[in-house]
Structure 1
């Protein structure tokens, strides 16, 4: 899940959800793991401003501009850039940090040699990606990534959903779930959409379009294809910064 929330299910299906609230990206009971994301509105779109990953009793929270906290302690990681000696862990899983360039931070939580959870930031945009997800960890998972076979299932585990807005609302963090964030709107209050926040959307979008030509955005994202390229182009235009195309977000 990245950028202007572009969500991808386990089977690679992309959809957008612009609701502003706290959302369950994934709940994986077999790993005792949850990933919640907090979204924020800007003009006529929203973006992830913070992501929280919990495994067991430990919580890693990553926010805009690479800010982070481990178990509510700011900047508590032992940063060794790949050196396995003395690295901080999340319930025993090592956490590594990289900063490929000034505006881009990457935090990797390594579950197995070829399986990791990556939370990255580009300026104030936060992204979450799971690489090499194995059935032993995620086979029974639910959330905005859908079931492990990629079906957009409701919380009851059987109802198949197709409307992205309804699906996103379904996975708003409920009051009986761990509250990794504390902020309104809280369930049962519904997620807020950017268009509900005022009449500035067209003016805001027009200003964004002036910052960078679409052709320049397409050039910046030319190394991508299909829905990944579409998402990249949108994000370049939204941020007005072609450097986002250089990130590991896509």
Structure 2
């Protein structure tokens, strides 16, 4: 049943503020040791939602708890809070029919400790998901199942899930722009499961997502970017390892190929545009075709887990000349094998344009360095080599030595030489500015002598969300194998895993050994040989530390000292 109401005064809404347990302080700083996740479910309690409520509490939430607790994601605590809205009885404190259900935990076995928290009802009345999300955030407990979140957790990754099959019936005073800001200011990634159908341009009904013939029910959800002009659709695939593939839709306003119930686009889908969350098709969750609903649960959980455990909104990954790698999660490691390596690979980059970054390492006794880097965006390939003693930049654009270089894949390129006046060109910097599509983000390649450094500045999930390779998996931050599941903690094994394969299409203009199936050439006893070299060093550690002292990043300073002692060259600070 659907009943419309007038706007509710703020004085009435204030009566909805819950009493009882102390509320969570979003401005507080976690000071504990555990890795924590907070799932906040905002559930429509109108009469048509019984099946969806059962699906969430029996399939999705238990599976999400198990997944987050697994070794792949490594969460110590998974907290669950929920609220209902739209159930029309007198015990609700406001005309939007909001009610906080409480908070509990989900165990590693997938058990919801207090099932009352998900004991939603269904009897339709007036409803407003905006107010429910606002109040649902405010009502999170500071202490859940005896655990104080700020005292117990070192980090708290938050995900809000709104589930409704209607637009807003009851328009309260809550402002959409403010709500969107508040959700992300509180640290949540929002996902809305709503009445949509992702189909084709000009779609006018949800018929292709409903009933016994529902070809579009396999399009489970999508992330929306570029102000609504681009999207990544999560589509069911029975042959894919994770049961879904990502399909890019570019330069097309999303509302032109997505059917929405009444005002759903304006009320809910717009809240996730250009954010890390997604909009999901409730009709897929309801689909009776074999395997579709089960796959929806699997895919929904995978995407939620990836969102929660993914890197910070903006990050920086890098690889320095004497191979020091910094992953998207800012984990530092070394790999000294000689071969061509996949630094990052993202077929979905820039709406399907695609991005590949490969490096070529060279072995020098017991250590190696990055001597070349090649970057492909779209159809363009830019290869950059260390210039060694040459007083000139060394690059190839689409295999032409020093060809005309203004853009790569449509993104502008800037080249800058740094000449100290006495030693000639010491560094050459190439900046690929991604700002036209991803403001504030760029790929920076810098050469120092024969060494090459590759760095991504300001990386976001919107730009690099599907990236995998030596920088790790962007969504999870883990050093994953090519299967997308196995976490490799042995970095020698991890490096070998990401050797360039024929299927990766080697980007360099010349071929150098080893090439797969030849394995990467590993140095013999690199730590022992390097340790002995450091002990025999003519440059002291104090001198190296002084040379590197201007570097801001502590790990850069540490790597810089190590490289100076290994190469016996104080000028190596220029590689950082």
Structure 1 residue runs of 4 or more that deviate by more than 6 Å after TM superposition: none
Partner deviation per Cα, 1:122-170 (whole Å, 9 max, x = no partner) = 1001110000112122101100000114211110111111010000000
Going from structure 1 to structure 2, the CA distance change for 1:202 and 1:172 (only over 3 Å counts) comes to closer
1:123 equivalenced with 2:123 (yes/no): no
Measure, in 1, the Cα distance between the counterparts of 2:458 and 2:562: 26
Aligned twin of 2:410: 92
Q: 2:434 aligns with which of 102, 107, 111?
A: 111
1:21 equivalenced with 2:339 (yes/no): yes
Structure with larger Rg: 2
1:209 equivalenced with 2:531 (yes/no): no
Aligned residues: 235
What's the TM-score once normalised by structure 2's chain length?
A: 0.39
Q: Is contact 1:107-1:120 (8 Å) kept?
A: yes
Aligned ranges 1:189-200 → 2 under 5 Å: 189-195=518-524
Aligned twin of 2:300: none
Measure, in 2, the Cα distance between the counterparts of 1:207 and 1:190: 31
Superposed displacement of residue 42, structure 1? 1.1
Q: More relative contact order in 1 or in 2 (CA 8 Å, sep 6+)?
A: 1
Tell me the SS of whatever aligns to 1:132: strand
Superposed displacement of residue 120, structure 1? 0.7
Superposed displacement of residue 207, structure 1? 10
Superposed displacement of residue 208, structure 1? 8.1
Superposed displacement of residue 190, structure 1? 0.9
Aligned twin of 2:516: 187
Going from structure 1 to structure 2, the CA distance change for 1:147 and 1:177 (only over 3 Å counts) comes to same
Q: 1:12 aligns with which of 330, 347, 367?
A: 330
Measure, in 1, the Cα distance between the counterparts of 2:507 and 2:401: 15
Superposed displacement of residue 246, structure 1? 4.0
Tell me the SS of whatever aligns to 2:496: helix
What's the TM-score once normalised by structure 1's chain length?
A: 0.87
1:169 equivalenced with 2:496 (yes/no): yes
Tell me the SS of whatever aligns to 2:371: strand
Tell me the SS of whatever aligns to 2:348: helix
Going from structure 1 to structure 2, the CA distance change for 1:203 and 1:134 (only over 3 Å counts) comes to closer
| Unaligned 5+ runs, structure 1 | 79-87
Q: 2:375 aligns with which of 48, 53, 63?
A: 53
